[in-house]
């Protein structure tokens, strides 16, 4: 079995080629897009973005999902990120409730 990162890279390449072929078709059609062209372009660009994001996450974690680093990253996710996925300090979760208990 090939490793997940290489599979993702291959999927991204395939979607990028398909998107390029679509752009060529649309150009030949005088830059007119049908509804199905727009829908397919949306799906391809979303797929490319998702794959590239996943690969970037794997790069940032210094490993791949297959070796368990993703699971380790998810445990830290619950502690160090807000609901939008941004890194936050743990104090951001405090919202002043501790002061109520100290009084």
**Contact (Cβ atoms closer than 8 angstroms) between residue 58 and residue 64:** yes
50-102 confidence digits (pLDDT tens): 999 999 999 888 754 555 444 444 444 445 666 666 666 655 445 555 555 55
Find all residues with CB under 8 Å of 32, minimum gap 6, and list them.
26
Whether this prediction's pTM lies above 0.85 is answered by: no
Q: What does the block give as tokens for 63? A: 């490993």
Tallying the residues shown for the chain, one arrives at 103
From the CB of residue 70, how many other CB atoms can be counted at a distance below 10 Å?
A: 17
């Amino acid at each position: 079995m090939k490793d997940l990162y290489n599979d993702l890279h291959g999927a991204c390449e395939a979607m990028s080629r398909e998107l390029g072929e679509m752009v060529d078709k649309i150009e030949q059609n005088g830059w007119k897009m049908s509804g199905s062209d727009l829908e397919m372009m949306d799906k391809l660009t979303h797929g490319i973005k998702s794959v590239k994001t996943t690969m970037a996450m794997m790069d940032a974690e210094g490993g791949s999902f297959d070796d368990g680093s993703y699971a380790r990253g998810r445990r830290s996710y619950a502690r160090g990120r807000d609901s939008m996925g941004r890194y936050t300090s743990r104090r951001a979760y405090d919202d002043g409730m501790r002061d109520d208990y100290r009084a």
